[in-house]
Chain A
Amino acid sequence: MFQKIYAWFDERLGLTTIYNTTLDRKVPKVNWWFTLGSASLFLFLLQGATGILLSIYYVPSPDHAYDSIQYIMTGVSFGWLIRGIHHWGASLMVLTVFLHMLRTFFYGAYKYPREFTWVTGVILLISTLGMGFTGYLLPWNQRAYWATTVGTSIAETVPWIGPFINQVLRGGTDLSAVTLARFFSMHIWWFPAIIAALIGIHLYMVIRLGISHVPTAED
């Protein structure tokens, strides 16, 4: 019965082909450092799932941001767990993405023909940091407010166009409701869309070119 249903879908969707190309690829003998990419992907999906859940209750307005998070933490069943996973998952994701980059660098896996995979990976790393920076403001507590004040002030030190960049980031001269709204938009729409698209390209390149082996003495 199950075989028949599977065959029906397989004939139309090519499930076996997808399985063979994505999961049954030939890979060289590698070590645990090669799991960091999958770990980063898993964390991105986990952050997406918990983030969607948090957006059920969170309100990106100075009047309600802090109170709505207090409500998530104390008034909603397992709210503390969902937010806790999102909070710690964020730090862990920055860590795994960064270690993934270091592995690629030290094994020389960025070399021909994988330069473009490396370029998309660099943008993914920067976007992950962008997620961290924009997400940090959303609790709208003292730490969030002043961390963003300092962070956007650093952008101001760029010669000539620094003050302009600062105002674009803040949506004005000061941190305000406008800043919170645009950081929220960046955090839940812009960066996730960019990251999802780049992960697609990144994985396509990995499947198309295969992964590099652990360098030997001759390399």
Chain B
Amino acid sequence: MPHSPHLSRSDFVKVVTAFLGSIMGLIVGIPAVSYLISPARKGSAADDWIPLGLLENYPIGVPTLFSFTRTKVNGWERTVNSYGVFVIRKSDQEVTVLSNKCTHLSCRVNWIEADQHFFCPCHDAQFGIDGEVLGGPPPRPLDAYTGEDVKIEEGNLFIHFVEG
């Protein structure tokens, strides 16, 4: 066959096949990669304002436990976690909110009225009414909700809760 300046029939078919194949590969490939990495692109930080009820309902000077649950959704699985905070009302508008999670190994502490301290039953840790360590193994005071993480709106107390 004499050499033709035009594209031969079989070369034309090759080019068209490669071109259409690439487009089809991209149409399938891009969604497939996006599908695989999809869960990694979603943020995990979940924070919310938790209402703890009317501030005036909390007795002055007595740490009072408030319990609440948060639901965490991972894919198709829902996990309900329980949390607790102690609300310590100092005066009409002054309030301290402490996590009830011991800073040693995350057991839940109780308020012992007779001894006027928080007590962790796991390793006999003791915390003062402001969360300071009085004895036992904890490395730091109880976590407190202070400053911008606490607000009072129309007499209702809120804490800014960050999951994790």
Residues on A facing B (Cβ under 8 Å): 49, 53, 56-57, 59, 64, 67-68, 70-71, 75-79, 81-82
Known: A64-B76, A71-B76. A77 touches B28 (CB 8 A): no
Q: Across the interface, do A81 and B31 meet the contact criterion of CB distance under 8 Å?
A: yes
Q: Does B75 contact A (CB under 8 A)?
A: yes
Task: Tally A-B pairs: CB < 8 A.
Answer: 40
Residue in B closest to A67 when the chains form the complex, CB atoms? B76
Residue in A closest to B41 when the chains form the complex, CB atoms? A77
Q: Across the interface, do A68 and B75 meet the contact criterion of CB distance under 8 Å?
A: yes
Q: Which residues 34-82 in B have Cβ within 8 Å of A in the complex?
A: 34-36, 38-39, 41, 75-77
A75 to B76 CA separation, bound complex (whole angstroms): 9
A189 to B136 CA separation, bound complex (whole angstroms): 57
Residues on B facing A (Cβ under 8 Å): 28, 31-32, 34-36, 38-39, 41, 75-77
Known: A57-B75, A71-B75. A76 touches B31 (CB 8 A): no
A116 to B31 CA separation, bound complex (whole angstroms): 40
A196 to B41 CA separation, bound complex (whole angstroms): 35
A22 to B34 CA separation, bound complex (whole angstroms): 35
Q: Across the interface, do B76 and A53 meet the contact criterion of CB distance under 8 Å?
A: no
CB distance from A159 to the nearest CB of B (A): 44
Residue in A closest to B75 when the chains form the complex, CB atoms? A71
Q: Which of A59, A64, A67, A78 contacts B35 (CB 8 A)?
A: A78
Q: Across the interface, do A77 and B31 meet the contact criterion of CB distance under 8 Å?
A: yes
Q: Across the interface, do A82 and B76 meet the contact criterion of CB distance under 8 Å?
A: no
Residue in A closest to B39 when the chains form the complex, CB atoms? A76
A77 to B38 CA separation, bound complex (whole angstroms): 6
Contacts of B75 in A (CB 8 A): 57, 68, 71, 75
Q: Across the interface, do A78 and B34 meet the contact criterion of CB distance under 8 Å?
A: yes
Contacts of B39 in A (CB 8 A): 76
Contacts of A78 in B (CB 8 A): 31-32, 34-35, 38
